[in-house]
Structure 1
Amino acid sequence: MRRRILVLVGATTSLVLIAFLVPLALLLRTVAADRAVQAATVEAQSLSSLVGTTDRAALALAVQQLDLSSPDAVSVFLADGAVLGSAADRTPLVELGALGTSSSAEVDGGREIVFAVRDQIGGAGVIRSFVPDAELGRGVPGAWLMLGALGVGLLGLSLAVADSLARSLVRSTTDLAAVSHRLAIGELDARADSSAPSELGVVAESLNGLAARITDLLREERETVADLAHRVRTPLTALRLDAEALSAQGDAARIGAGVDAVQRAVTQAIEQARRRGTGPGAGRTGSDAAAVVRERVEFWAVLAEDTDRETVVDIAAGPLPVALGEADLAACVDALLGNVFAHTPDGTSFAVRLTPRPDGGARLVVADSGPGLSDGSAVRRGTSGAGSTGLGLDIARRSAEQAGGQLELSRSADGGLEVVVDLGGPDTPA
């Protein structure tokens, strides 16, 4: 943008200077030539009266003095053929002057001016003045040089002013772009300079208003999520009281443990909703993937036993640090295993494998021998073909991306669904 402005201003200024300076330069040359011709004409006319009133000796002396003091060559052609002053040939213009016609014309090397006169006895004489090209163009090169310097100076001044203006515009535009990028990565406290020139200032104010509105909307969303999650605590409390009232201690303990797990999940949802969106990487912590996955598999193993599901577990020895918090990783594992139990019939076997990645982090693979997926549509948020919320695989995808990895779906060796979740290490950018 800056270069384009400079090119535009430079081209416009150059055209204006050419339109102004070229005619002025031609005018200066014409004025210089007219001045030289006028001076030669005055000198020649000063001899006109002497030709008819003085004798030849006095006339020769006057012509000689004038020829020495003037840069022009002055000659007087008398009727008897004598030539006084500078030696010169009788040119066609001199012959025309001998016939009584005064005139001037451009000749090789300069300009020739002749005046027809009469001597003392009435004979026809001619006064010739020759103005060389050097005299016709005296002072013109210097004047042209000054005009060229003036043009270059004006062009440089215009480019300097244009560069200052362009730099101000580019700086303001760059600042706006930087603020928009900061907002895009979650720095919602970023604000643009509203004192930017003209329309850019209006854009900056609008961007600041948009950032403030986004901040308000995110705050309202977080508080709404937190409030909704908090409302779940009341029925959970009632469920705990009912569990404690059960006569069978084993059932009461198991239901109580489930209620405790749900309460922890609700509390984590509230905390996560309130800290999310405060900046890039906000709330992004690490955890030991081996410990978290092992704990969640043990939790689901009880239900797998009740539903006659054969389970293959292959978890590498820890620690396996990943760039994902314990709560988020546990939610990811629960979502994947929950899908297996929700979308495959009882007795369907599944496998859970956790291996380290060569570049840091871990790879989690959950594969089952169920019917699988017809396409990858279930990875889209809110999409489900089995009457669920459609959030399971999307939760896993977002967890993988938050840890700097990715989620892949494929067909397992048994014909079911295989979900591969790559989790980056603690230093992996999200």
Structure 2
Amino acid sequence: MCALVALAFLVPLGLSLRDEVRDEALADAARRGALVTGALAVSTEPAAVRRAVEASGDDPATRPVVHGLGGAEPAGRAADADLERARDGKRSVLVDVNGGVLRLDPVVLDDRVAVVETFVPADELDDGAGGTWLLLAAVAVALVGAAVIVVDRVAARAVDSTRGLVRAALAVGDGDLGVRVEPSGPRELAEAGYAFNRMADRLVTARTDERELVADLSHRLRTPLTVLRLDAEGLDSDDTSVGSFTPAELDRRRTIRRIRQAIVTLEGEIDVLIKTTRKAITHEAGPAECDVSEVVRDRMVFWAALAGDQNRPHRVIGAQLRIPAPVPRAELAAALDAVIGNVFRYTPQGTAFEVAVSRRDGYVAIRIDDAGPGIANPDRALRRGASDQGSTGLGLDIAKRVALQANGSVSIDRARLGGASVVMLLADPEATPRQVNRFGLVGRMTREAREQKTGGRRWPGRRS
């Protein structure tokens, strides 16, 4: 294609240059012939005509020849028919002859018409044509070579951009939503790269929103599910192994057992759903930050409804101002739900509780106090799979893992309300780095929260 374009441009240019050289040679012949025709218009004396002919050029072969002055005809190259045609037409005539071109210029004298013959050699007509064609051929080769190099570079950039876009598309198709392309190449491919990056960002946002929606719906289900579990625990015993029962009573107890088993199964499924979505959000979104106060207020809106049904006095302290923490929002919400859910699960109805948020010494502290029986063995309660209440201990383990993720810790102490006090410490991302004993902070918070001294971190038995 490049060669065709070069030929289409250079061939007409070469022909035009050749015609220009020919026209210049013929114009020079017309100038030399005009010198002689001007002298004939003044005088037809042989001596004057001879002087004019000699003045027209140095080369005798190309000097003009005058026909029709009488006397002996000079030797020329023009045929008689061509001379007669010039005389009859009374206009200049170009005639091709062997070795060049003749220009015949008629001159009207008193009683006759003379013809001035001017010869133009073929080498003057094509003077420099060979060099011109060689130059044009060299230009054509250079243009084609440059075009090939430029097209090759442009094509290479386009191919590289296309391959990068294909690799990124295949990676996204395989589930890697973190891949991005560097827009490059032609404008259209660069725009396609920018569009691909926007699409990938939208996919990440949509998936994260979907995960957060599922996690939020799971959190919302905890409140009515806890109500169902507490109501189910208030039903009669479902034991059918001891005693004799009527068919109706036996069927009623079996129904109660199925209800309780269904609630336990549903609680396990919701826990798995929350745990799975939290892991997916953390893996896709990477390190995140949330507002502790906003999360506490949001979760207490849901738990407050259940607390009202059970006549549980409750309050939130210190959650008015923004307090950042280096954990994803879904993670912190799950930890709060786990700890507050334990309060509802393992304390009697009507037991008061409170949630407090504070910020000091490079840490953010979340304290959940209750007025229940407390925890007899705090160390055992913080170990996964161990509990004094007959459960898996998963709730406190979730809180512990979230705190460790934020370079913090979880501790259990006696609450000012008389029951258990679970304190989650999270590193403050806006605090000036300093060496602080975080357990000392827990102790100070606990001492400040107590209205009276209780005498230690552990106690021998549950409060009645």
Please indicate, yes or no, whether the TM-score normalized by the shorter chain is above 0.5. Answer: no
What band does the TM-score fall into relative to the shorter chain?
0.3 to 0.5
Please, what TM-score do these two structures have when normalized by structure 1?
A: 0.43
Q: Which has the larger radius of gyration?
A: 2
Return the TM-score normalized by structure 2: 0.40
